């Protein structure tokens, strides 16, 4: 079995992608919590949190780099 990528580089690349995924997940979670708090604080009932989550998902999906993960 031949390996194209040296052993030392593959784990670093996987760790980098895992770190970015964790950063994105935490950012989205904090954004959702902040938005929920803001909507409750201002007593805004016209926009539901689900709608905001769908819009955030569309925004993230449209801003992808095009690289399949």
Q: What is the per-residue burial (b if ≥16 Cβ within 10 Å, else e) of 6-38?
A: eeeeeeeeeeeeeeeeeeeeeeeeeeeeeeeee
How far apart (Å, rounded) are the C-alpha atoms in residues 46 and 52?
A: 11
For the chain, give the mean pLDDT.
76
How far is the C-alpha of 44 from the C-alpha of 36, rounded, in Å?
10
pLDDT digits (tens, 9 = 90+) for 25-46: 899 888 888 887 887 888 777 7
pTM exceeding the 0.75 threshold for the entire prediction:
no
> For residue 39, how many other CB atoms are within 10 A of its CB?
16
């Amino acid at each position: 079995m031949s390996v194209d990528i040296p052993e030392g580089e593959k784990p670093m690349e996987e760790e980098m992608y895992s770190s970015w995924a964790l950063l994105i997940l935490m950012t989205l979670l904090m954004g959702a919590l902040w938005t929920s708090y803001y909507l409750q604080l201002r007593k805004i009932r016209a926009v539901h949190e689900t709608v905001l989550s769908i819009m955030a998902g569309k925004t993230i999906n449209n801003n992808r780099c095009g690289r399949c993960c």
